[in-house]
Amino acid sequence: MADVAISYSSNDRPIAAALARDLTARGFDVWWDFALYAGDDFHDVIRAEIAKAKAVVVIWSEAAVASAWVRGEAVEASDLGKLISTHAPSFDPRKAPINFRTLHCEPVVNRERVVDAIKRKVVKVKTRQEVSIPAVPWTSDDVQMVELHSKAKAGDAESQFVMGSFHEFWYGDAVEAAYWYRRAMEQGYG
């Protein structure tokens, strides 16, 4: 399963190819229609790849806006909550299709911002695992962690933030950290 699918007009293939190379070099698994083979049903394959991807980067340009395929892929990605809207260097994002003009549209050449948007989608899509409760006998630290976890699960925003920090800096678990941070932020904490 690809982390990222790229949607673009064939006129913008060099831009899409550069993005695919850059994202692959950064460790993302990338799918774009370059991976289609003779005999593949474009509609079925593209739709399946969008469904499997964790994020879909659409590269808007004059040609992409005119393409029913790109517009359709963008709608599909948006419906699934996976759309990252970018634009070609010479394209004015105010010319994006009307239903996508309310979304922030990042220049595709601004790689750091595009990568950050992808990372946010990838973390959102991954499922989180429950924190394992240590086996008895517990130390006082274990008891405190269980209490913290209980408070966080019960909705205490400060405990949720602390759980996020603990997972980020102690375990290095970005997915679990993002889960707790997001819960705390939804309550206005932070």
**pLDDT tens per residue, range 112-125:** 999 999 988 875 44
Average pLDDT over residues 44-52: 85
pTM for this model (two decimals): 0.63
Note every long-range contact of 135-143, with CB atoms under 8 Å and residues 24 or more positions apart, other chains counting: none
- If DSSP codes are grouped into helix, strand and coil, which group holds residue 85? strand
Q: How many residues make up the chain in this entry?
A: 190
**In this model, does residue 137 exceed pLDDT 50?**
no
Which domains are delineated in the chain? 4-125 (3.40.50.10140), 140-186 (no CATH)
69 half-sphere exposure, CB direction, 13 A CA radius: 16
**In this model, does residue 25 exceed pLDDT 50?**
yes
Higher pLDDT, 78 or 49: 78
Cite the beta strand spans of the chain per DSSP E: 4-7, 30-32, 55-60, 83-87, 106-107
